[in-house]
Structures are given as structure tokens and as C-alpha cells.
């Protein structure tokens, strides 16, 4: 049986990765910053703390428990495959389904009101990766459970993919000007690729939805390699204080 990774170790690794990226962004920035600091980073970290409580306290233990049953009883799509293929298939299916969930958060008006909290950040850096509405994160609990059950995700596949996905999300939000961004984007979602997704331009917002492997955008025709020179954000939307962000799904004129 696979040894479980202690959640506290993942948390330390994520904190170290976030710290390293925030430092690298100061050394090799891609964009000129416009928002007032430290208020903006403070808002992002406060939302991140709320989201961490939901993920670590509710989502992770429930998903791990369900994944154990899925592997034991061989439930879901990947578990019907030969043993050597199961975990790889499960991780690819998880990554692909997250692409579709991200598309849904842009196209379903109610989900877009929640996802808007992430997109109206006027600068983008690794702290943007933590900035989601807590209801958005709460919805990720039934989403993850449905993924684990239907796709047939084992505890090992879940732990490996979640580690990869978390690292990828921190990385592609980073304010980094990488010389190898374009070739790397053939495989992974890069900061350059995701910069386009955060531009305040309707066509750009509708491109580059991938968050793990970059393959999905190419497969579904949503890949873009350039955007007009407009700011980071959403047309017509400012970035309110923390209380305003939490109330935003109710107050935003966004549909
Ligand atoms: Zn988005």
C-alpha cells in the first residue's frame, strides 16, 4: 500500500514554493505593477487562508477517503484499465476535467461571478494563485469527489496530481519573464500563457484555460500565444477591499 504523504509536509512545500516564487518575481518581473501594496497581497493571502481551511479541512480528507474506496473496489473509468495504466490515466483525466471546469467557471454566469474574484486582481503574481472566493473553493469539494469517483482516482494518483497541479497553479500565475516560456508551453501551462488568460480583453479571457498540462487548450482550440496590450484584470471591474471581494458575487454587474 502506498505511503501517505503527511498533509503538513505538502503545506511546507507549498509555502516554500510560494516564498521562492515571490522572491524570484521581485528579481525577474515581467509586468509593471499597478495595485497598491501591501494591501493587494494582504487580500490575496487572506482569501488564500480561507481557501486553505476548506481544502485542508474538508476537501482533502474526504477525497482521500473516497479514493481509498475507489481503488479497493475498482470504481470509475481508470480502474477498468490494466493496472500499470490506471494512475496515469486517472491523472490525465483529472487534468482534462479541470480544463473543462475552468471553462465552465467562465461560461456559466453564476460560476463566473465567483471566478471573477480571481480575475479582477489588477496585478498577477504567485499570490493570485491563492485568490479565489471561498464559495468557489467550497464548490470544489463536490467537484473533487465526483472526479475521484467517476474517473477512478486512487489515493496515489490523487496525491501525485494534486502536488503537480498546485505547483503548476503557483508557477503559471508568477510574474516571471522566462526565456524558455514558449518551448515550455508546448507541455506545461507557463506564466506567459496564463498572462494572456488574465488580460482585460474578452477574447484573451476566453483562451488558455489549461492549468496543468497545456495540451488541453491545443486540443480544444482555445490556445492563444498573444494578446492585445491591455492591463491585467476584467473590463469594467475594479478590485475592492476584502469585504467587497467576498460580497462581489452578489454585487457584481457581470453577466
Ligand atoms: Zn479563468
Reading the block at residue 81, the C-alpha cell is 484499465
Residue whose grid cell is 462581489: 248
Instruction: Please say if the pLDDT value at position 15 is more than 90.
Output: no
Say if residue 46's pLDDT is above 50: yes
Q: What is the mean pLDDT of residues 124-152?
A: 96
Mean pLDDT, the chain, rounded, equals 93
The model's confidence at residue 1, banded by pLDDT at 50, 70 and 90, is very low
Q: Say if residue 4's pLDDT is above 70.
A: no
pLDDT band at 2 (very low <50, low <70, confident <90, very high): very low
Residues in contact with 164: Cβ distance below 8 Å, sequence separation at least 6, in sequence order: 91, 212
Query: Is residue 254's pLDDT more than 90?
Result: no
Cα of 56 from ligand 1 centre, angstroms: 23
Instruction: Find the distance separating the first CA and the last CA of the chain, reported in whole Å.
Output: 48
3-class secondary-structure state, position 63: helix
CA of 216 to the centre of ligand 1 (A): 14
- Higher pLDDT, residue 108 or 248: 108
DSSP annotation of 221 reads T
What per-residue confidence (pLDDT) applies to 64?
97
Residues 39-44, mean pLDDT to the nearest whole number: 94
CA of 103 to the centre of ligand 1 (A): 7
Quote the ligand 1 centre to 72 CA distance (angstroms).
35
Q: Measure 165 CA to ligand 1 centroid, in angstroms.
A: 15
Amino acid at each position: 500500500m502506498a505511503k501517505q504523504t503527511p498533509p503538513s509536509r505538502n503545506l511546507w512545500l507549498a509555502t516554500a514554493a510560494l516564498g521562492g516564487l515571490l522572491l524570484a518575481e521581485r528579481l525577474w518581473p515581467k509586468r509593471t505593477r499597478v495595485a497598491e501594496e501591501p494591501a493587494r497581497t494582504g487580500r490575496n493571502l487572506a482569501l488564500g487562508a480561507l481557501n486553505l481551511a476548506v481544502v485542508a479541512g474538508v476537501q482533502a480528507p474526504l477525497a482521500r477517503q473516497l479514493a481509498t474506496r475507489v481503488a479497493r473496489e475498482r470504481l470509475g473509468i481508470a480502474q477498468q484499465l490494466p493496472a500499470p495504466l490506471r494512475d496515469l490515466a486517472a491523472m490525465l483525466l483529472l487534468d482534462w476535467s479541470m480544463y473543462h471546469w475552468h471553462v465552465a467557471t467562465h461560461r456559466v454566469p453564476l460560476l463566473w461571478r465567483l471566478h471573477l474574484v480571481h480575475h479582477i486582481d489588477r496585478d498577477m503574481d504567485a499570490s493570485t494563485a491563492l485568490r479565489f472566493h471561498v464559495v468557489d473553493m467550497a464548490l470544489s469539494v463536490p467537484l473533487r469527489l465526483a472526479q475521484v469517483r467517476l474517473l477512478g482516482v486512487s489515493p496515489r494518483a490523487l496525491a501525485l496530481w494534486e502536488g503537480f497541479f498546485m505547483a503548476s497553479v503557483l508557477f503559471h500565475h508568477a510574474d516571471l519573464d522566462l526565456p524558455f516560456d514558449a518551448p515550455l508551453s508546448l507541455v506545461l501551462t507557463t506564466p506567459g500563457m496564463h498572462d494572456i488568460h488574465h488580460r482585460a480583453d474578452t477574447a484573451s479571457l476566453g483562451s488558455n484555460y489549461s492549468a496543468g498540462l497545456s495540451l488541453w487548450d491545443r486540443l480544444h482550440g482555445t490556445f492563444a500565444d498573444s494578446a492585445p496590450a491591455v492591463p491585467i484584470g476584467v473590463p469594467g471591474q475594479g478590485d475592492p477591499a476584502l469585504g467587497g471581494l467576498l460580497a462581489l458575487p452578489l454585487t457584481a454587474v457581470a453577466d
